[in-house]
Chains A and B, each alone.
Chain A
Amino acid sequence: MLSGSKTSFKIQQHAPGPALRGPKSSDMNSKRNRNGQAFPCIPGEHVLEEAARVRKIVRSRDGEGSILGTLYCTNLRVAFVPEPAPGDTAPRRSTCLHCEHDVALPCIGRLVAVNSCKAKVLTASSTLKFNPEELVLYCRDFRVLRFRFRDSGSEPRAFQVTLAIVQAQESSSGSAGMWYDSGAIRNLENAWLSTEESSSPPTLLFERPCDWEKELRRLGAAGWRVSPVNERFDMATSLPKYLWVPSRLLDNELKRAFGHFNARRIPRLCWHHPGGSDLLRAAGFHADSDPEKEDVRSVEALMLAGHAQCVIVETAADLPSPAEIQLSYLKLRALCLPDSSVADEKWLSALEGTRWLEHVRACVRKACEVAALLAERSRSIILQESDDRDLNCLLASLVQVLSDPHARTQSGFQSLLQKEWVVAGHPFLQRLNLLRDNDREESPVFLLFLDCVWQLLQQFPASFEFTETYLVALHDSSYIPFFSTFLFNCQWERDRRNQHRASNQIYAPVNGWREPPPLEILQKGGRLVKERGGPYLPTIWDWALRYTPQQRAQFRNPAYARGSGGSTTVPNGKSAPLGGDKLEAAPSGNGAMYLFAKGALSPQTHLFPWKNGSLSKKGWRRAQSSESLSEQDRSLRRKPSGCPLQPEELLLPTSVGPLIRLWRRCYLRGSQEVQRGLFASTLGELAEELARLRERLGD
C-alpha cells in the first residue's frame, strides 16, 4: 500500500500506540544511519546502500507533498524510512515486511533516473553517466514511486544508491530459489505471531485433512468424503493431498480414474449447494488413454456424483486464454501509467482496446450462469479445463463467491483462495513471474479474478465483509516474494520447500504486536519452536506482518450486512440423496449429460473421447420418460421457488457494459486521478462515530 493507497491509510499521521511497537531486529542485521535510526532488516536481509535525506513524492487525497527520509537498498527490496517528526519518539515502521514505501526487488518493473535534462531507463547493461536528481520506480503492481535527491542534501549518495538498486534488481531476477534458499524469513513468524486470540474464524489452509473435513461439514455435503489417495502426491503432483470424492467410491475405484485426465487431475468436489447441486472441477480427458470398462464406470461415477443430471461446463469456451489475459493486462498497465499518451477524448476506446474489461465481463457472466445452473435444480456441474489450473480456479472460486455468503467473509474468502487456487495448484510462480525467469508463461489470471471480485463488491457493496482496500492489499501481496502463498506452482513444490514445517496449518489472525520472544527461548526449544521449527515461509494471510492494525481495520466493510440466516442455517433437507443406492442402481449410461458452452446447454451423447467409453444416448433417453423431462424443464423455469436460497444469498451480478467498471483505485494509483470511493471513508467515519456513541452510552 503505497502512495495511492494513502487515501485510506494514514498511519504516518498517527503515532502508533505501544501495542503496535515493532520489534527492533537484532543489531547484527541492521545498519544505523546517521540519525541513529536502525533499518529493521528481516533475517537474511542486509543493506547494500543507503542515502539519507531523500524526498519521497507523495500524492494522495490530501494533496501532493514529499516526505523526508532515508532510502535503503537491500538484497531483498528498496525501502524508504521516513524521518521521525520532531518529538515523535514512537518508531515509524510498525510492520516489518511491507509498508507503503517499500518495494520488493522483483516487483520493480522499470527504473528511471532523471536529471534536469535527461531521463534514462536503467538496466544492468546500461551505464549511468550522470548524477540523478530523481529516481522513479515503476512497480509491477501499478504503483509509481518517486524519490528526489535534489535540494535535500542527498545528492552525494544518489549515484551510489541508484547503481546499487539497479544491480540488486538485476541479480534478483532469474535466480529462482534465492528467496527461500537464503532462509530469509526463517522463524519470522515464530518471532512475530502472538498467541491465538482470534476474533474471526481462522483461515483454512487445506493442508491437513481436518480442514477438508471441517469445510465438508460446513457445506453439509452428505454423500462426500475426504480421500487421502493423493497424500504423498503419488497420484498427481499438482493436485492437493486430499480430495473430496463421492463417499461410495472406494479409493481403489478412484485410482482407476486418474489416468484418464490430463495431468491426472480427476473430477473432485469444489462446493456443495444447500439445494443439492454439486460443483466439481476437472482437467480435460486424456485423449490417448485407453480406459477399460471399469475405468469408465469410475469416471462416470465421479462425474455424476449420484445425480441424474450432469452438466459439463467448458471453462475455456467463453473465457480468455492466459495469453490473452497477459496481453490485455500489459495494455491496461500501459494505459493506466501516468505517462500514457492517450488523449482524454480517446480514453474510452483505448480502454476498450485493452480488452481487459471484456475479459472481466466474460468471467462474471459465465460465473453467473454457472451459479444459476447450480441453484436451479439438483445436478452435478463439472468445470472442465484442459489443464484445470488456470481459469478453472477463477471460475470455481467466482461461482462460490456468488453462491456462498460464507465466501464473502474475509476468512471464508481466504479459505476459498487456499482451496481453489493455492492447494489446487494454480501455477502462481509461472503466472505472476515473480522471479522473472520465464516471461512466456506470465499471465495474471489471479489478478483478473480479483478484478472480478471487485466488480461484485461494486455491485453489491453490502454483501461483502471485506472492502476494496482488502482487495488492493491482496493485489499488492501477489508481488511480494516473502510468502509461500504465491511463490510456488503447486502444493507439492510448497511442501518440498517447507518439509520441516510442523503442523501449524491453521492460521489465526494476529491482533496487534507482541515483543518477539527472546532468542534464547526460541533456541532452547520453547513452545513456539517446537511447533514451528524449521525454515518456512509465512502465508500472506498473516496480514499483521505487513499491515498495521489501523490499516487492517480498513479491510472491514462498515456497510456489510450479515446475511439474515447465516451460513449455518442453510436448509439441508432438500439436498438430493446421494446414497449409494442410487449410485449402485445407476448403471453406466443412465445419467443425463449436458454440455454447457457459450451460454447454451446441449445434450451430450459422446461424452468421452474414447471408443468404448461413450454414454449410450438411448440409455438415458429411455430412462427418463418424457413426462419427467418436461417436469424437469418446468422446475428450471419455475421462478423463485426453484431457487432454494434466499435471493440475498445468491448474488446475480450484471455484466452489461455500463456496469463493468475500471478498478480505478488499483490501476490508476500511479496517476493523479486517484479517487476516493463513493462513501468509502465517510461511511467508515460514521461507523466510528456510532461505535463511540454506543461506548459512551454503554453502562
Chain B
Amino acid sequence: MGGVNYVSRRRAALQPEEPDEESWEELVLPPCPLAGSAAGSWGGREAPGAMLGKGAGGSSGAKPAKPSFVSYVIPEEIQKEPIEKEVNLHLLPGELLLCEANTVLKCVQEDGSNRGAYGKLICTNFKIAFLGDESASDDNEPEFKNMIIGENDITLHCIDHIYGVYDEKKKSLSGQLKKYPEKLIIYCKDLRVFHFCLRYTKEEEVKRIVSGIVHHSQTPKLLKRLFLFSYATAAPTNSDIQNQTMMFDAIKDWREELERTKGNMKYKVLSANEAYQVSEKLPMYFVVPMSLSEESILQYQGRGIPIWCWSCHNGASLLKMSVFPKEQEDNTSQMHKIFLDGVYKTINKPPYEVLKTDDLSSSLPSLQDIQAAYTRFKQLFLIDNSTDFWDTDVKWFSLLESTNWLEIVRRCLKKAIEVVEYLEGQNTNVLLVEENASDLCCVISSLVQVMMDSHYRTKFGFQSLIQKEWVMGGHCFLDRCNHLRQNDKEEAPVFLLFLDCVWQLVQQYPPAFEFTETYLTVLSDSLYIPIFSTFFFNSQHQKDTNMSGEGHNAQSSRFRFLTVWDWSVQFEPKALVLLNNPLYVEKPKLEKSQRKTTRFKHQRQLSLPLTQTKSSPKRGFFREETDHFIKNILGKRISKLINSSDELHNNFTEFYDSWHCKPVDFHGLLLPHIEGPGIKVWAQRYLRWIPEAQLLGGGTVATATKILDMIEEVQSLQKKMDEKHSLTVPQGREALPMLRNSARLSSLFPFALLQRHSLKPVLPTSTWKDLEDEDDLAKRDDEFVDLSEVI
C-alpha cells in the first residue's frame, strides 16, 4: 500500500439520529424472476411501496402503473426481519459524508430480468456510493480491485448525467428540483450506468439525497473546492515515492531528454520561465532552438515561439508553436515574421533545408467536432437496459460509422503518420501549429513519439511522455474534462482521443508495448479520480500557484499531491500484474533484427501505367472493364496514387505502403494500419459494463491466462535449471496469484465481476405466457401474473 490510510471516519459530518441507523438492511433477492408468485402477490394488491414513495414520487396516489422495475421483496418483509449487518463505510482522508438515504434499491438489469439489492446511498464530497450486501455476498473478493473506487462508487467527477424517472418518463436533473423522482439513473463518464430506485425511501431522505447529489455533482465549483485539496490537507504526508517516471518539473529531466534524443546539439533548455514571467501557459522549463535569445522570448510572451518536442535519430526535430495573436498590429506581426525567419534559418541548417509547418486547427477536426462525435459514440455504450442494446445491435456498424469517432481516430493516426513521414522519410523538421499548442498538438506530437521512439512504448516512457507533452505541455485537463462544471463549451475528450489512438497501436502490435490495454483503460478511469493532481490542473502554473495552503503559514503547508503514476495507490501488487504485457518483446537481438530486414529485400518496381485512366464508378464483380482492372492489379493504394496529383499525398502513400511491406521491428518505427478494417472499437473500455457482451470463460482473458501460466512455468523451469547448475539454495517460488481460476473469469475481466452463473436469456420472459392457456391463467390468477405487464 502506497501510504494511503483509510481512516474510517464514519459519519464525520452527520450524526445519526437514531441508533438503528448504524445498521441497515439488505436483502438478497431471489436470483431469478420466476417469482411469479412473489411478484404477483404484491402486484395484485395495492402496492405497499407506493405508500412510502407516494409523496416523493408525486404519483397521483393511484397504484403505480407499469413500474419500470420489478421488486420481489415486499418492503414489509424488510421491517420484519432486518438483517443486522455492519457495512463498512470507507472514507478517504478529507472525505466528508454529506447526505445519505436508506432502503434504496439498486437495480441490476441483465438477462432481461430485473433484480436488485437494497442498501444505502450516500453522497460525500468525493463520491456517491451505494452500500449494499450485493457484492460482499460473493465469496470471492474481486481480484482486480481498485482501492480508491469501489464497485459501487462513483466519484463526483465521473458523473456524466443524472436522470430522474417520473412516471416512466426520464428527465435530466439539474438545478433546483421541484419534484423528486422515483428513480435515479446515473450515467458515468467511465460508461457505467446506475439505477437507484427511491420508491421505498423516506420522503425527506429522497429530497436530501437527490438534491445533494445534483448539487454536488452538477453545480460549478471553484478550483479550491476540489476534493484534491481536502485530500492533500488531510492525508498523511507520505515520503516521496521514487518513481522512474520523469515528471519534467526539473531542469535535469529536460536535459536528460535532450541528451537521450541527441537534440542537445541544436536545442537548449531555458529556465527563463521559472517564475512564469514569460508565460503562464508554458512550463517552468522548456526547450527552444539554440539561436533563440531569452529577450525575444520575453518579448513575445511565449507565443509564436517554436518549442521543441522531440528529436528524431536523424536529427530532424518535432516542434510546436502556439499561433501569434492575429489582432496585433501589422508592425508587430511583421517583426515577428522576421524574427521567425531568423529562427527557422538556424534550425534549418543543412541538410535540413525545410521546416514543414502544419496548422493542426485547419487539418484536423475541431474540438467541437470531437466532442460531438464522442457524445454520439458513447451513447452506443451507455445502455439503460437490455432492450436498448438489442435495438442498436441490428444496425451496429452503420451506427458506429455515423458517430464519426473512429474516423476522427483514423484522421489523427493519419496525421501522425504524415508527420512521421516528414521526419523519417524526408529528414524535415516539423512545426505543429495550433491556437494554444495544447490540444491536438499534444495528440499528434505524442502519437508521433510513440510511433517513432520505442522508449515511449515502455510504461515509464509512456508516463514520461504524458508528463512532457500533456501535463507540462499545458493541456487544460480541468477545462477539457469539465471537472469544475464551469463551462460546458470547453469540454472535449482530447486526452481520451489520444488514448484511443494509442490503443489502436497496442492492439495492432501487442508485443511492442510494455503495457496492456488494461493499463490504458485504468488510465482513462483515473481522469476522474480527484486525489491525483495529474489531471486536475490546466497548467503547471495553475498547479504551482495553488500549491500553498490558504493564507496562514503558507510556506509550511504546501500541499503534497499524489501523482497518478503511483499505481500502488489504486491497485494491489497482484492487480498491477495485469497492467504489464507479459509478451512485451524486451530487447531485440541485434543480429536477429538485421537478418530479418535483409531477408526480404524490398523492391519497389511496380508497373505503373503512365497514362492517366479516367475514373469509373465501381463496377460489378466479374465485369470486364479495363481501367477498373488496372486498379485491381495495382491495388487500391496504387490507384489512389495514380489518381492523385498531389505530391504530398503521393509521398505519404509511398511511405506508408513501403513501411507495411517491410518486416515489423517492434523496437523501431511503428505505423498503424489505418484502412477501414484496421480501426476498431476499444472494446475493453466501452463494453466492459455491458452484460450482454460478456463471455463466460471466454475472451482474450482466456488466452492471457494461458500465457501467464506458461510464463510462470517457464520461469520455474528456468529456475530449476539454474539450481541444478549452480547448486544455490532454492528460494520459495512465487506463484502468480492472478488468474488462477480461469473458469470463473469472463471476457469482462478484470472489470466486471462474474455475477451470472446462469444461462443466457434464451427466451424473452414475455413469451412464457404463451405457454399458458387462457383458462389456466384464469384458474391461477391469484398466484400468477403476466410478466409482460410488470416489465
A and B associate in one complex: yes
A residues with a Cβ closer than 8 A to B are 59, 61-66, 109-110, 112, 114-121, 123, 126, 133-134, 136, 138, 146, 150-151, 330, 333-334, 337-352, 357-358, 368-369, 372-373, 375-376, 459-463, 558-559, 561, 564, 594, 599-603, 621, 626, 629-630, 633-634, 637-640, 642-643, 646-648, 651-654, 656-659, 662, 664, 668, 671-673, 675, 678-679, 682-683, 686-687, 689-690, 693-694, 696-697
CA of A634 to CA of B30 in the docked complex: distance in angstroms? 13
Q: What distance in Å separates the Cβ of A519 from its nearest Cβ neighbour in chain B? A: 41
Given A633-B771, A678-B507, A679-B510, A119:B702 Cβ within 8 A: no
Contacts of A594 in B (CB 8 A): 771
Which of A109, A117, A461, A639 contacts B700 (CB under 8 A)?
A461
Q: B406: CB under 8 A from chain A?
A: yes
14 A–B contacts from the bound complex (CB under 8 Å):
A117-B609, A120-B626, A134-B607, A345-B407, A345-B410, A347-B401, A462-B697, A463-B698, A599-B762, A637-B33, A647-B696, A651-B698, A682-B510, A690-B714
Cα A133 to Cα B634 with chains together (Å): 13
Let me know if B759 and A643 touch, CB within 8 A.
yes
19 more CB-based (< 8 A) A-B contacts, given A348-B401, A673-B675 = A62-B600, A65-B602, A119-B633, A334-B621, A339-B636, A351-B397, A351-B677, A352-B395, A352-B396, A459-B699, A460-B695, A594-B771, A601-B768, A601-B770, A602-B770, A656-B393, A658-B683, A672-B660, A694-B717
Given A346-B401, A652-B696: A679 in contact with B759 (beta carbons within 8 A): no
Pair B699/A116 contact, Cβ less than 8 Å: no
The 10 residue pairs across chains A and B that have the minimum distance between CB atoms: A347-B676, A657-B396, A352-B397, A64-B661, A339-B632, A462-B702, A65-B600, A600-B767, A119-B629, A639-B758
CA distance A658 to B694 in the complex (A): 11
Q: CB of B508 within 8 A of chain A? A: yes
Measured CA separation A678–B510 after assembly (Å): 7
Q: Are B637 and A672 in contact (CB under 8 A)?
A: yes
Footprint of A on B, CB under 8 Å? 31-34, 36, 389-390, 392-398, 400-401, 406-407, 410, 507-508, 510-511, 583, 596, 599-603, 605, 607, 609-611, 618, 621-622, 624, 626-633, 635-637, 639, 657, 660-664, 673-678, 681, 683, 686-687, 690, 692-700, 702-707, 710-711, 713-714, 717-718, 720-721, 724, 742-743, 747, 757-760, 762-764, 767-768, 770-773, 776, 779-780
| A64–B757 CA distance with the chains assembled, in angstroms | 48
CB-CB under 8 A from A682, the residues of chain B are 510-511, 583
Contact residue among A63, A375, A662 (Cβ-Cβ distance under 8 Å from B602): A63
- Given the interface pairs A372-B760, A463-B697, A678-B507, the reply to whether A346 lies near B395 with Cβ below 8 Å is no
CB proximity of B727 to chain A, nearest CB, Å: 16
Indicate if the CB atoms of B508 and A675 lie closer than 8 Å.
yes
Q: Are B605 and A683 in contact (CB under 8 A)?
A: no
* SS class, residues of chain A in contact with chain B: mixed
Chain B binding surface SS class: helix
Instruction: Say whether A639 contacts B757, CB under 8 Å.
Output: yes
Residues of chain B within 8 A (CB-CB) of A654 are: 692-695, 760
Asked if A119 meets B626 with Cβ closer than 8 Å, knowing A349-B398, A697-B720, the reply is yes
How long is the Cα–Cα vector from A457 to B531 in the complex, in angstroms? 42
- Compute how far the CA of A668 lies from the CA of B410 in the bound complex, rounded to whole angstroms: 19
B76 to chain A, nearest CB (A): 25
User: What distance in Å separates the Cβ of A567 from its nearest Cβ neighbour in chain B?
Assistant: 17
Chain B residues within an 8 Å CB radius of A110:
622
Contact A460 B630 (CB under 8 A): no
Residue contact A671 to B636, C-beta cutoff 8 Å: yes
CB-based contact A62/B596 at 8 Å: yes
Give CA–CA (A278, B581) in the complex, Å: 45
Quick one: closest B residue to A661, CB to CB?
Answer: B680
Chain B residues whose CB sits within 8 angstroms of the CB of A346 once the complex forms: 401, 676
Tell me the bound Cα distance from A652 to B762 in angstroms: 10
Which residues of A lie under 8 Å from residue B743 when comparing CB positions? 564, 646-648
- CB A502 to nearest CB in B, in angstroms, measures 43
Given that A348-B676, A679-B703 are known contacts, is A338 also in contact with B632, CB under 8 Å in the complex? yes
Contact A678 B703 (CB under 8 A): yes
Contacts of A651 on B, CB cut-off 8 Å? 698
Chain A residues whose C-beta falls within 8 Å of the C-beta of B596 in the assembled complex: 62
Contacting pair A330 B621 (CB below 8 A): yes
**How far, in whole Å, are A176 and B167 apart by their CA atoms in the complex?**
70
Residues of B within 8 A of A678 (CB): 507, 510, 700, 703
Known contacts A334-B621, A642-B759, A656-B693: A460-B720 contact under CB 8 Å: no
Q: A679 contacts which of B407, B664, B707 (Cβ < 8 Å)?
A: B707
- Pairwise interchain contact A114-B759, C-beta atoms closer than 8 A: no
Q: Which residues from chain B contact A653 at a C-beta distance below 8 Å?
A: 695, 698
| Alpha-carbon separation in the docked complex, A529 to B401 (Å) | 61
Q: Which residues of B contact A66 (CB under 8 A)?
A: 603
Complex interface: chain A residues within 8 A of B677 (CB): 347, 351, 662, 664, 668, 673
Checking A119, A634, A648 against B630 with a beta-carbon cut-off of 8 angstroms, the contacting residue is A119
How far, in angstroms, from A658 to B681 measured CA to CA in the complex?
A: 8
Q: From B618, B633, B713, give the contact of A114 (CB < 8 A).
A: B633
- The answer to whether B759 touches A120 (Cβ under 8 A) is no
- Contact call B607/A693, Cβ cutoff below 8 A: no
B678, B698, B762: the one contacting A460 at CB < 8 Å is B698
Is the Cβ of B706 less than 8 Å from the Cβ of A683?
yes
- CB pair A633–B34 under 8 Å, yes or no, is yes
**B contact residues around A352 at 8 Å (CB):** 395-398
Residues of chain A contacted by B629 (CB below 8 angstroms)? 112, 114, 119-121, 339
Residue of B618, B763, B780 near A599 (CB, 8 A) is B763
A344:B410 contact, CB within 8 angstroms = yes
Within the complex, what minimum Cβ distance (angstroms) separates A8 from chain B? 15
Select one of B407, B636, B721 contacting A697, CB under 8 A: B721
Knowing A65-B601, A599-B764, A693-B721, say if A117 contacts B636 (CB, 8 Å).
no
The one of B583, B636, B687, B773 in contact with A658, judged by C-beta atoms closer than 8 angstroms, is B687
Q: How far is the CA of A380 from the CA of B703 in the complex (A)?
A: 35
Q: Are A600 and B764 in contact (CB under 8 A)?
A: yes
CA distance A697 to B630 in the complex (A): 58
Q: Which residues of B contact A693 (CB under 8 A)?
A: 714, 717-718, 721
With CB as the reference atom, state the residue of chain B lying closest to A150.
Answer: B607
Measured between beta carbons, the chain A residues less than 8 angstroms from B32 are 637-639
Contacts of A376 in B (CB 8 A): 759, 762
Complexed CA–CA distance, A277 and B705 (Å): 33
Considering the chains assembled together, what is the distance between the CA atoms of A459 and B401 in angstroms? 23
Q: Which residues of A contact B721 (CB under 8 A)?
A: 693, 696-697
Other-chain residue from B392, B398, B674 in contact with A348 (beta carbon distance below 8 A): B398
Q: With CB as the reference atom, state the residue of chain A lying closest to B715.
A: A693
Residues from chain A with a CB closer than 8 A to the CB of B686 are 658
Whole-angstrom CA separation of A630 from B780 in the bound complex: 11
A626 contacts B706, C-beta separation under 8 Å? no
- In the complex, chain A residues whose CB is within 8 Å of the CB of B713: 690
- Measured in the bound complex, the distance between the Cα atoms of B773 and A629 in whole Å is 11
Q: Are B710 and A686 in contact (CB under 8 A)?
A: yes
State whether A136 touches B609 (Cβ < 8 A): no
Tell me, rounded to whole Å, the shortest Cβ–Cβ distance linking B580 to chain A.
15
Which of B392, B636, B663 sits near A340, CB closer than 8 Å? B636
A171 to B622, CA, bound (A): 19
Contacts of B767 in A (CB 8 A): 599-602
Q: Which of B599, B657, B706, B780 contacts A62 (CB 8 A)?
A: B599
- Given A338-B636, A339-B635, answer yes or no on A64-B602 (Cβ-Cβ < 8 Å): yes
Residue of A nearest to B597 (CB): A63
Residues B747 and A459 in contact, CB atoms below 8 Å apart: yes
Q: How far is the CA of A601 from the CA of B765 in the complex (A)?
A: 11
- Rounded to whole angstroms, the CA-CA distance of A48 and B743 in the bound complex is 57
Roughly how many angstroms separate A601 CA and B769 CA in the complex, as a whole number? Answer: 10
Closest Cβ of chain A to B706, distance in Å, is 4
Are B759 and A462 in contact, CB atoms less than 8 angstroms apart? Answer: no
Chain B residues contacting A642 (CB-CB under 8 Å) are 759
Query: In the complex, A647 Cα to B630 Cα: how many Å?
Result: 53
Contact of B697 with A114 in the complex, beta carbons under 8 Å: no
CB pair B663–A62 under 8 Å, yes or no, is yes
Task: Write the chain A residue with the least CB distance to B624.
Answer: A121
